[in-house]
Amino acid sequence: MTDRTAYINARVLDPATETDRMGSVLVLGNKIVEWGTGLFENGIPENVRIVDCHGYCLAPGLIDMRVHLPEPGGEHKESFETASAAAAGGGVTSIVCLPDAQTPIDNISVLEFIARRARETNIVKIYAYGTITRNRAGNELSEFGILAEAGALAFTDGDKALADALVMRRALSYAATFNFLIIQHPEEPRLALNGQMNEGEMATRLGLAGIPAAAEVMMIERDLRLVEMTGARYHAAHISTAASVNAIRNAKTRGLPVTCDTAPHYFTLTDSSVMDYRTFTKVSPPLRDEKDRLAIVEGVLDGTIDMIGSDHRPQDQDSKRLPFLQAETGIVGLETLLPLTLALHHVENVPLIDLIRRLTAAPANLLGMKEGRLGIGLPADFTIFDPDHSWTIKADNLRSKSKNTPFDGHTVKGMAMCTVVGGRHVHSLID
């Protein structure tokens, strides 16, 4: 058996080099050794395995920068094995775990556990963030330097906003000294207290306590003032409102080192989806109204929104099949990240390479990862996908252990046909 594989007849998309053309990729072992348009114009060498991509897109493996992985402690909701299988099936080759499992990532031992479980699972690559504060309590800062040396890519308290302005200032000052990245869940917790969905007409009709859109932008605007004071790199996670998009856009205009991401459900669904108390639409931050949804689309179109992550948060039946007030927040998203994002290409005419950038090179550059691009000597992590393949999402067919998706029965376009990690086919429909 040869250890060289040629991927031919592919539409090669590499946002890092602005490449979008027909070409080929040659892999030796777990590395890319050559790629380009005229790679095999004189014929393919002998003893090379050939994979015909049938004209599908070949892009760097997707990086999902927002994955809630509840192991250890929540294996009944999702394990490393099931999350990795879901990622591979969705074309995701690298996931970054948020530090909000039952055991927070605020010490080296938890990072070592994640690295060990990733090696044991050996499907996709699994990275992690460290917490900003110990036990995510919002008081005492974690040891950023020690956690970074152990592999933490950035620092966040996950789905908890760091509400104390003084603690956030200290965190940003600490991070600025070493060029670390602080990621905030932007939500003013007192305004959001006991809220169940977006504040507005739908919440009133359903009799549910609302979370005002202002709760998000108030936290972002406070933090932007602190960024001005400290010069630290700051990232606003899963933004969902028009005001937040405007705040980030203005901050970038002023030259602040600020980035942001959103999740597909914020440009796909609105709070009207909560009708009939559908707990599978309960997310944090909540689904907003149509005006906010359109603003998120516009933020992707004009580049204000830098990245798209699934915000994958698996919840078992016992956590979701409850009255709306008691139900947990979150939806699964690893397997639907690609097709839901591609809807912006099919419906809103966002260039395909721009969307792939938000799923590959942009998160890689932000987090200092070597993945997210095609290059000689780089890891052979890439995804072959058909952007026009139409299929219907069926919750029971998802590889995730939990099936909490609001998109059950939705018809989408775009499917991962082959997922390659380190030269290995971890998912394939073409060979």
| pLDDT tens-digit series, residues 212-248 | 999 999 999 999 999 999 999 999 999 999 999 999 9
Q: Answer yes or no: is 24 within a domain.
A: yes
Which tokens hold the place of 332? 């699964």
Nearest to 87 by CA among 431, 286, 256, 332: 332
Q: Answer yes or no: is 147 within a domain.
A: yes
**Same-domain status, 244 and 130:** yes
Residue 164 has what pLDDT? 97
**Catalytic center residues:** 311
Q: Which domain holds residue 47?
A: 4-58+380-428
pLDDT per residue of the chain (431 residues) written in tens, 0 to 9: 568 999 999 999 999 999 999 999 999 999 999 998 888 877 888 889 999 999 999 999 999 999 999 988 899 999 999 999 999 999 999 999 999 988 899 999 999 999 999 999 999 999 999 999 999 999 999 999 999 999 999 999 999 999 999 999 999 999 999 999 999 999 999 999 999 999 999 999 999 999 999 999 999 999 999 999 999 999 999 999 999 999 999 999 999 999 999 999 999 999 999 998 999 999 999 999 999 999 999 999 999 999 999 999 999 999 999 999 999 999 999 999 999 999 999 999 999 999 999 999 999 999 999 999 999 999 999 999 999 999 999 999 999 999 999 999 999 999 999 999 999 999 999 86
Alpha carbon of residue 320 to chain centroid: 22
Residue 159 has what pLDDT? 93
The total number of residues written for the chain in this structure? 431
Q: What is the Cα–Cα distance from 260 to 306, expressed in whole angstroms?
A: 6
**Same-domain status, 269 and 283:** yes
**Same-domain status, 338 and 223:** yes
**Same-domain status, 132 and 86:** yes
For the CA atoms of 341, 265, 136, 179, the dihedral, rounded to the nearest 10 degrees, stands at 30
Q: Model-level pTM?
A: 0.96
Residue 2 has what pLDDT? 66
**Same-domain status, 355 and 341:** yes
Burial class (CB in 10 A: 0-12, 13-18, 19+), 232: buried
Residue 245 has what pLDDT? 98
DSSP 187-203: --HHHHTT--EESSHHH
**Same-domain status, 179 and 32:** no
Domain count, the chain: 2
**Same-domain status, 221 and 174:** yes
**Same-domain status, 44 and 67:** no
Report the DSSP beta bridge partners of residue 383. Answer: 59, 419
Strands (E), 30-109: 31-36, 49-52, 57-60, 62-67, 92-97
Q: By the 8 A CB rule, do 395 and 370 touch?
A: no
End-to-end CA distance of the chain: 16
**Same-domain status, 119 and 235:** yes
Residue 43 has what pLDDT? 81
| pLDDT tens-digit series, residues 405-422 | 999 999 999 999 999 999
Instruction: Using the CB atoms, write b or e for 334-369: b if 16+ within 10 Å.
Output: bbbbbbbbbbbbeeeebebbebbbbbbbbbbbbbeb
Residue 244 has what pLDDT? 98
**Same-domain status, 416 and 339:** no
**Same-domain status, 99 and 194:** yes
**Same-domain status, 363 and 337:** yes
SS3 177: helix
CATH code of the domain in which 269 resides:
3.20.20.140
Domain-terminating residue out of 346, 367, 388: 367
Q: Answer yes or no: is 373 within a domain.
A: no
Domain-terminating residue out of 367, 400, 419: 367
